[in-house]
Amino acid sequence: MSAATFPRTTFKSSELSRASADVFAAAVDHPVHVTRRDGESLVLMSESADKARDALLELAAQLVAVSTSTDGTLAGRMSDRFPWMLALSPADQEACATAVLSAARASFATHQPHLSIAELTSWRETATAIAAGLGRQPVEWLDEAEAVERPQAHGEGIKG
For the segment 78-125, what is each residue's pLDDT rounded down to a tens digit? 999 999 999 999 999 999 999 999 999 999 999 888 999 999 999 999
* Mean pLDDT within 116-141: 88
pLDDT digits over 39-79, tens only?
Answer: 999 999 999 989 988 998 998 998 898 888 888 899 999 99
146 pLDDT more than 80:
no
- What is the Cα–Cα distance from 22 to 50, expressed in whole angstroms? 20
Rounded-to-integer distance, Cα 35 and Cα 40, Å: 7
The pTM for the full model equals 0.67
Q: For the structural domain made of 10-45, what CATH number should be given?
A: 3.40.1620.10
Contact between 41 and 35 (Cβ < 8 Å): yes
Rounded Cα gap, residues 110 and 40, in angstroms: 25
Residues 6+ apart with CB under 8 A from 45: 27, 30, 31, 32
